[in-house]
Amino acid sequence: MSFSGKVKDELSKQWSQARHCQIAELAALISICGAIVIDSRNQYGIKIHTENITVARKVFTLVQKTFNIEADISVRRNIIKESVSYSVIIRKHSDALRILQATKLTDEYMDGFEEIHIVNPIIVRQTCCKRAFLRGVFLAAGSMSDPEKSYHFEIVCAAEAMAVQLRKMICGFSMDGKIVQRKKSWVVYLKEGSQIVDMLNIMEAPLSLMELENVRILKEMRNTVNRKVNCETANINKTVSAAVRQLEDIKYLQSTIGLEKLPEGLEETAHIRLSHPDATLKELGELMSPTVGKSGVNHRLRKISEMAEKVRQDQGGLL
């Protein structure tokens, strides 16, 4: 099961104790993947369609426990696409009307077969109801990438009005939700790992939150180690390159003017560098008599390089 599937499975088992929160979650599910059906006799019906069995089960349970209504479930199999879709249907007019009135979805659409795009602000007035609503919309149309690969949280909306309303709700929890149009849909998304962790907390998915946090910690540790290794590797390469240049300069002076022509301190440094090509500046300094600090050794080697460059210029760059 994908990480997104694990999150949905956990959320489908999360149950709000307050009835107003149950209504908010059901309103989200109906708004995102539901439709109101009104027949020629002006009789209402509700149909919630999903390809996720856990979502269908959650809708069925919400309808049953919140309103004491037994909904019908229709299962359709597509042999060609090898997929299964589920429809939770409230056929009885009085039952559908009770749900629509409770979720405040009866005023927007009065005839025909219409998709529902927005939810009445009264339904999500309280913070706990907003949390339940966000849980519902994620169950209906949300997805998350595998945190091992990247951080991405999104909810796909059929209408821009719904996306704007959803983004405003997410930003109300101090998160930076964004909207992008993708073909005929509008996508509300989060990209930062810390904000996705906050969203899991808001939707009440503690197990998924802990799994994501563990992945984030491991990735941060891995990145820290990689940075240190890269830094140390760069320092080693820099040290090796410097040592190679120093040896070339010393050998050049030895073959041209002779090391004995160097000042006493520089001559000593040159001989010790030749005999200890892999030594660090600190180690070179400790081999000298008297001992010299790193900055002193570095200064002497720089002087040797400057002398070698001057000799090269005097001799026309010839080795």
* pLDDT tens track for 74-118: 998 887 777 889 999 999 999 999 999 999 887 544 443 444 567
SS3 45: strand
SS3 187: strand
Q: Residue 113: what pLDDT?
A: 40
| Percentage of residues of the chain with pLDDT beyond 70 | 95
pLDDT at residue 318 is higher than 60: no
**C-alpha–C-alpha distance, residues 27 and 216, integer Å:** 33
How many C-beta atoms surround the C-beta of residue 208 within 10 A? 24
SS3 75: strand
Three-point CA angle 274, 276, 277, nearest 5°: 70
Distance between alpha carbon 45 and the CA centroid of its chain, in Å? 40
Over the chain, what is the mean pLDDT?
Answer: 87
Q: Tell me the pLDDT band of 151, cut-offs 50, 70 and 90.
A: very high
Query: Is the N-terminal amide bond of 277 cis, ω within 30° of 0?
Result: no
Residues 6+ apart with CB under 8 A from 240: none
Q: Decide: 36 and 114 in contact? Cβ < 8 Å.
A: yes
* pLDDT tens track for 176-198: 999 999 988 999 999 998 999 99
Higher pLDDT, 118 or 147: 147
User: What is the pLDDT averaged over residues 119-125?
Assistant: 89
User: What is the pLDDT averaged over residues 155-173?
Assistant: 92
Q: Decide: 247 and 264 in contact? Cβ < 8 Å.
A: no
Pairing of strands 44-50, 142-144: unpaired
SS3 1: coil
User: What is the pLDDT averaged over residues 305-318?
Assistant: 79
Global confidence as pTM: 0.71
| Percentage of residues of the chain with pLDDT beyond 90 | 42
Q: Lowest-pLDDT range, 201-210, 214-223, 231-240, 244-253?
A: 231-240
* pLDDT tens track for 240-266: 788 888 888 888 888 888 888 888 888
